[in-house]
Amino acid sequence: MPTETTTAAQTGTAEALRKIRDRFPTLSFREFRGDTTLTVPADQLTAVMRYAKEACGFDMLLCVSAVDHLPESPRFEVHYTITQAETGAILLVRCVAENDSDPVVPSMTGLWRSANWLEREQYDLMGIRFEGHPDLRRIMMWEEYPYHPLRKDFPVAGVSLESENGVFTEKAPTDGAPFTTTPSGRTAAEREPRSRG
C-alpha cells in the first residue's frame, strides 16, 4: 500500500512532468521502473531547469553525475537529480555534452548553490566544462594534474607522473587486487574476481 509521502511524490512528479511537457513539447521523456528521465539539449538546459525550479517547485539539486560512452559519439552525458523538498518528487535530467574533445554544458550554479562543488567534481574527474561556473577548478586532484581519472580511456592502474610542482604518483598496485578482472574473451561473470575462488 503506498504511503502518503509516496503518493505526494508521485503526484508532484506527474504534475511537474505535465507542465514541462506543455512548456517544452519537443523534449524526450523516458519512464523506467517508476523513474522519469527527461533528455534536454545543452542549448535548452538552463531554460528547462529554471522552469523546473521556478514553475514546478524542484527546489533542490541533489546530484550531478556524468557518463562516458567511449567509443560512441556523442561521448559524454551529464545527469542531474532534482527534487521537490516538500513532496519528495524526483526528476532525472539528462543532457548530452557538446564536443567530445572538449565537453561543455551550462552551469546550474545560478539556479542551485549545490551545483558549485558537484560540477567541480565532474570537471575534475570527467573533464566536463560547466560554462558560467564562477570557480571551475579541480576539487580532488591538484590543478596541474593532466588527466581526468573517471574517463573510460584512463587506465585502471593509473599512470606514473612527476609534475613540476614536486607532486609524484606511481601506478596503483592493482595486480591481484580483489576488484580487478582479467582481460579475455570470457564473459563478465567468468572474469568476475569472485569466480576465481
Quote the radius of gyration of the chain (alpha carbons, Å). Answer: 20
Inter-CA distances, 197 with 66, 115, 182, 189, Å: 34, 43, 14, 13
Question: Could you tell me what percent of the chain has a pLDDT over 70?
Answer: 80
- pLDDT for the residue numbered 155: 83
Higher pLDDT among residues 146 and 127, named by residue: 127
Q: Give pLDDT, residue 173.
A: 57
Three-state SS letters, 50-116: HHHHHCCCCCEEEEEEEEECCCCCCCEEEEEEEECCCCCCEEEEEEECECCCCCEEECCCCCCCCHH
Helix or strand holding residue 118 (H, E): helix 115-126
In one-letter notation, the amino acid at residue 29 is: F
Confidence at residue 145, expressed as pLDDT on a 0 to 100 scale: 84
* Mean pLDDT score across all residues of the chain: 85
pLDDT of 50 reads 97
- Please name the fold of domain 4-146: Beta Polymerase; domain 2 (3.30.460)
**Residue 38 to residue 95: CA distance in whole angstroms:** 9
**Residue 42 · residue 97 · CB < 8 Å:** yes
Q: State pLDDT tens for residues 35-88.
A: 889 999 999 999 999 999 999 999 999 999 999 999 999 999 999 999 999 888
The label of the residue with cell 519537443 reads 26
Domain spans of the chain, in order of start: 4-146, 155-197
Name the pTM for this structure.
Answer: 0.79
Q: What is the pLDDT of residue 182?
A: 62
E strand or H helix that includes residue 29: strand 28-32
What average pLDDT score do residues 131-153 get?
A: 91
> Tell me, what's the pLDDT at 177?
56
Sign of the torsion angle spanned by Cα atoms 92, 93, 94, 97 = negative
Distance from CA of residue 104 to its chain's centroid? 13
